[in-house]
A = this chain, B = another copy of it.
Amino acid sequence: MSEQQRAPHLSAEQFRAQAHQVVDWIADYWESVGERPVLSQVEPGAVAAAVDGTIPDQPESLDAVLADVDQHLVPGLTHWQHPRFFAYFPANSSPAGVLGDLLSSGIGAQGMLWATSPAVTELEQVVLDQLARALGLSDAFCHLRDDGSPGAGGGVIQDTASTATFTALLAALHRATGGRARTEGVEQGRYTVYASTQAHSSLQKAAMMSGLGERAVRLVDVDPWTQQLDVDRLREAIEADVAAGRVPVMVQACVGTTGTGAVDPVAAIGEVTRRHGVWLHVDAAWAGVAALCPEHAWVNEGVAELADSYVTNPHKWLLTTFDCSTFWVRDRSALVGALSILPEYLRNPATESGAVVDYRDWHPQLGRRFRALKLWTVLRSYGLSGLRAHLRAGIAQAARVAELVDADPRLELAAPPVLGLVSFRLASSDGLGAGRADQLTREVMDRVNASGAAYLSHGQVAGRPFVRWACGGWRTGAEDVEQTWAELDRTLTELLPTR
């Protein structure tokens, strides 16, 4: 190495030129994505066989990379930004979200400690305080109270709601054990957690990861129609565990379940958790952001008064490029108590003064990206009025879907529509047995998905499958709903030719 080779970092001019090329690629992709099949049609292994992962010896051009993206990757994408992506929940990117994220990539700051980039931490505190207020959580979850005094709680951006739920459980365990869980470990078989049978699987995963094990999870029955948690059953389950000498640690209430979008009665659940001193975590991953609209503020009722922690995902319905999951706690000392560690190499005067927040103590990871910047960019670029218009558009589209389902004798609702989500299945009346109806429910969805015209997903209640049609994509217009309905109608006619 007498002559050191220089690494081929792009010059400022090369970067400008190539970035403009990528920007144009994205703009073109968004404009044309609606013409592609939503669900990728590739077979397992096809992309891996086509793509060469070998690291070349010499630098390759951006043109070569983009050509491979077009030829080999795009056919293997299921297009989440497609106007007729109605599966799972919307996972919106948005032009503003992409701009904010790009800015964050360019700055490349790492906010593990306040000191490692104060603006990363403080913008996050400020933005989450204001978002908490806008969502109706009240200043009980804010870093700064309404009167400007320091709060006991606060918000943090996590990567996903799964991580938020996991950290909520660790905080709850910390509180329930007086800190002994972190030092001594958990006592096997002693602690229990609760949610409805419709709760997201991340609760089970959190129980597995925290050392409690799956056996700690109590899944409580729901109302057979609304799919909301039955508070009487919850109370009984907690009382039975207490009577048996176990320690109930956390109840997770769902505001918008992954299946049918059911909103659990948070206030009534909160009365139970308060009585028993159990941590109440509210999983509003999808639906919580709807509370930005005054007419939907009810979804977060009870949170301000009774919840201990709350999560909603701007990366789902709120136009913020993945990942951005906003998580709040009423008492940050439990969370930080469960997760803080201060090795020598992270010591610094700001931390030791106690005057700052070090977000590394608020989640499992140490390193962290400047995610508040993209959220802030989105919130400002749309404004409340624009965000509400976006949310309302998805809800109006779902109302149209529900209307179409209602008017069609071949179909029935599987649960009440909630906000942007409609759950339906083949009606089993009219000479069609439930078994055959269920089979056809799957068949209809599979055919629509295979057609590439739209992408729907499914769920199950009381052993019966249903189709989920989740509106809320930023590129989705009324015509996309009609076009998808036409494909569904055609498929139903094919499958039920005699009716």
Contact = CB atoms under 8 A, between A and B. Distances in A.
A341 interface: yes
Copies in the complex: 2
Nearest to A119: B76
Given A118-B40, A392-B1, A134 B76 contact: no
B65 A377 contact: yes
A55 B384 contact: yes
Contacts of A323: 367, 369
A361 B114 CA distance: 32
Interface residues of A, number: 174
Interface string A131-164: 1001000000000100000000000000111110
The residue in A44, A54, A105, A457 that gathers the most chain B C-beta atoms within 10 A of its C-beta is A105
A245 to B, nearest CB: 16
A106 interface: yes
B212 A386 contact: no
A20 B99 CA distance: 10
Interface string A340-358: 0101111100100101100
A201 B96 contact: no
Contact of A184 (B15, B213, B386, B459): B213
A468 B373 CA distance: 30
A474 interface: yes
Interface string A44-72: 11111001111111111010110001001
B380 A64 contact: yes
Given A53-B130, A367-B323, A382-B8, A106 B29 contact: yes
A18 interface: yes
Interface in A190-244: 200-202, 204-205, 208-216
Given A44-B114, A322-B369, A379-B55, A181 B18 contact: no
Interface in A165-187: 166, 170, 181-187
Contact of A385 (B57, B96, B459): B57
A352 to B, nearest CB: 12
B105 A321 contact: yes
Nearest to A180: B213
Contact of A16 (B23, B77, B380): B23
A78 interface: yes
A337 to B, nearest CB: 10
A105 B100 CA distance: 10
A306 B5 CA distance: 34
Contact of A205 (B81, B364, B380): B364
A93 interface: yes
Contacts of A339: 205, 208-209
Interface string A1-37: 1001111111010111011101111111111000000
Nearest to A20: B20
A77 B322 contact: no
A417 interface: no
Given A1-B392, A64-B380, A389-B5, A185 B215 contact: yes
A102 interface: yes
A297 interface: no
B7 A78 contact: no
A120 B210 CA distance: 29
Interface string A359-384: 00000111101000100110111111
Given A19-B27, A23-B102, 16 more contacts: A8-B381, A9-B475, A20-B20, A25-B106, A26-B103, A29-B106, A42-B118, A48-B122, A55-B130, A60-B380, A64-B380, A65-B377, A77-B109, A108-B322, A185-B216, A322-B367
Ordered nearest first, which 10 A-B pairs have the shortest CB separation?
A: A211-B211, A76-B119, A185-B213, A26-B106, A93-B108, A53-B126, A7-B390, A10-B95, A47-B122, A53-B130
17 contacts: A5-B389, A19-B95, A25-B106, A29-B106, A40-B117, A47-B123, A48-B123, A53-B129, A55-B379, A78-B115, A78-B118, A80-B108, A163-B365, A182-B214, A183-B214, A186-B186, A345-B460
